[in-house]
Structures are given as C-alpha cells and as structure tokens.
Amino acid sequence: MAKAKLEYIWLDGYKPTQSLRSKTKIENNFSGKLEDCDMWSFDGSSTEQAPGGSSDCLLKPVFICPDPARKEGYLVMCEVLNSDGTPHETNGRATIEDDDNDFWFGFEQEYFLWNTETNKPLGFPSNGYPAPQGQYYCSVGAQNAFGREIVEDHLDICLEAGLNVEGINAEVAAGQWEFQIFAKGAKEAGDQIWIARYLLERSGEKYGVSINWHCKPLGNTDWNGSGMHANFSNTALRTAGKKETYDIICQAFAPYVKEHIEVYGADNHLRLTGKHETQAIDQFSYGVSDRGASIRIPIAAVEKGWKGWLEDRRPNSAADPYKVAARIIKTVKTAKI
C-alpha cells in the first residue's frame, strides 16, 4: 500500500505579520488531486488563532503541488476556517473577489539571506558594511553575489513543484535576492507565493541560513529595503487600447492610500520614504516607467498600444499576497471606465 506525505501549510494569527505553519498528514493510495485532500484541524491556541478552551481550527485545502524534497510528497496550501466552517479572521484568501480569475497577478518577491551568527545579510562583514550598493544588482562573482547556491536550490525545487516562477535575480543590496511568480487568478498567485516562501524557508534550513522578509532589515541606512511589487491586470487593462483607461484606473487608487498601506506590510514607513526607488508612504503618484511612483505604468504596455498591466510598487516583502490582491481588486473595481 503506497503511503503519501501531505504537508498541510497555513498562515498563523501572529501580528502584525503572519507566519507559515505546517504539519504532515499520511494518506494511503493518495491520488495527488486537490479534491481528494481531506479537511483537517489544528490547535489554534498555539498559533494565536483560538482560545485554549475552544482551540480547534479547520484547514481547508485550496492548492496542491508535488513536494520535490520528499518521496511521495505533496505540498497542500490551506485556508484557515473557524470550527463552524466560516473563514477565520486571519484568512486573507477568503477576502479576494475574483471568482472568474479575470485578475492576473505577478508578484516580485524580494528577501534577504540572513547570517544568524552575525545577524546581518550574507556578504556583510561581522563589523561594518561591505562596499556600497550598486555592484550587487544582477551581479556575478564571489565579491558580489552571496548565497547563490541557496537561491539556485530554491529555484530548482520550485520548478520541480510546478510553480510558475518566471525569473530570479540578485537585488540591489548584498545578500538580497528576488524571485517572480505569475498566475492567471489572484488566489492562485497568492497560493504560489506562499508555497515558494515555504520552500525558501526550508532551503534556508538546509544551509543554516535564515530568510529575512522584513521590508527594511538594515534599519535607517542607505541600503535598499525589500518589496513585493504587485503587477496586475484585468480585461480592461489588457485590452484598453487607450491612455485614458490607464489614467482612470490609476486615479482610482488616489483616494485609498490609507486602505492600501494597511495591508501592504508592517513597518512600511521605514521603506516608503520617497528614496531608494519608492514614493513616500503618505503620497500617491503614477507614471510611465517611473520607479519612484506608487504605481508604475510599464513602458511595454505603452508600446503595445496601452494594452498590458500596472505595477503597484508599495507592497513590502512581508506583505500577505492574498490581502494585497484583494485590496487592489477592490480598488480597481471602483474605476468608472
């Protein structure tokens, strides 16, 4: 009798930033299909999601892919439900209003590989700083690129898992990297980002390196922070054919700066300063090819006759992609096109 290992993965209730949790379920003769994944439960009192006297929370499987690191292994992303089957208050996925998958998302996930002994990024000396940023972006060479073996390992297992990773690159600061994932559908884009984050954490375990998702782990310095730029489109953007449509959709974001910042990740004021390719946290702007704007209109969309997508540059590296997508969709739907 074949036995499969199903790793049920979910988000806990920690504030202001949720963490990943997981546990293994053994199934006999498992088909590998999502519809054959049973509901499960966990102790919510250990994850800040329930009181001890009524601690059961439910796990609803929503996405499945192979687990390349395990024989007969699968990774199962789950939504957290209350014991009565309603979405838990920590369940950002359930707030996404995109049942027809009209919204496509591509997230650019930045992060730092972190040396737990020095409490600094890989490539940083134990005392002081390396050469100023500039030479590390898309770099090669032992004096520039740090932790490539971890990044390559992560890329391989993501591809083996069937995740739609569209690229990776070294980022502006030493020890800082990025991967990009795209999906036609906001919920699946979020599912794949969370699974990719989980796999990166596990790769870090193997190498004894921590993954730092904080948006400004080096504090008030001249080093870039980390973002999770959200590239998004719907039918209106993909077929617009005129600048006016892009203007109307971009302008729809202006009244909702506060609402977006609330779900774009903790401590974003440290990152969104108006410097280091960001707009100030309390301002809103948009522009063609403008990386200092809140929303960038890619030059490719203009060259294709105003048909394409937009990039919201404000979400930070620790933001929940489900909540980011849900807020973007809600705002875009207010646009009077």
Q: Where in the chain is the domain with CATH 3.30.590.10?
A: 104-332
Bond before 315 cis per omega within 30 degrees: no
* Cα separation, 81 vs 194, whole angstroms: 18
The two structure tokens encoding residue 43: 């102790």
DSSP 327: H
The two structure tokens encoding residue 263: 């779900």
pTM of full prediction above 0.95? yes
Helix (H) or strand (E) holding 100: none
**Nearest-CA neighbor of 17 among 209, 205, 226, 178?**
226
The two structure tokens encoding residue 322: 């489900």
* Cα separation, 44 vs 50, whole angstroms: 5
| pLDDT for the residue numbered 275 | 85
Helix (H) or strand (E) holding 27: strand 20-28
Q: Where in the chain is the domain with CATH 3.10.20.70?
A: 3-91
Phi/psi for 31 (5° steps) reads: -80, -20
| pLDDT for the residue numbered 1 | 62
Asked if 144 contacts 132 with a C-beta cutoff of 8 angstroms, the reply is no
Looking at 3.30.565.10, 3.90.950.20, 3.30.590.10, 2.40.50.100, the CATH number of the domain 104-332 comes to 3.30.590.10
Number of Cβ within 10 Å of residue 19's Cβ equals 14
How far CA 104 is from CA of 152, 230, 311, in Å, comes to: 26, 10, 12
| pLDDT for the residue numbered 337 | 83
In single-letter form, the type of residue at position 263 comes to V
Residues 6+ apart with CB under 8 A from 15: 48
- 97: alpha, beta or left, given left = phi > 0 and alpha = psi -120 to 50? beta
Looking at 2.60.120.560, 3.40.50.1580, 3.30.470.10, 3.10.20.70, the CATH number of the domain 3-91 comes to 3.10.20.70
**Nearest-CA neighbor of 20 among 279, 212, 198?**
198
Helix (H) or strand (E) holding 53: none
pLDDT in tens, the chain (337 residues): 699 999 999 999 999 999 999 999 999 999 999 999 999 999 999 999 999 888 999 999 999 999 999 999 999 999 999 999 999 999 999 999 999 999 999 999 999 999 999 999 999 998 889 999 999 999 999 999 999 999 999 999 999 999 999 999 999 999 999 999 999 999 999 999 999 999 999 999 999 999 999 999 998 888 999 999 999 999 999 999 999 999 999 999 999 999 999 999 999 999 999 887 899 999 999 999 999 999 999 999 999 999 999 999 999 999 999 999 999 999 999 999 8
Residues 6+ apart with CB under 8 A from 20: 9, 10, 11, 12, 194, 197, 198, 201
3-state secondary structure of 177: strand
**Nearest-CA neighbor of 291 among 308, 306, 276?**
276
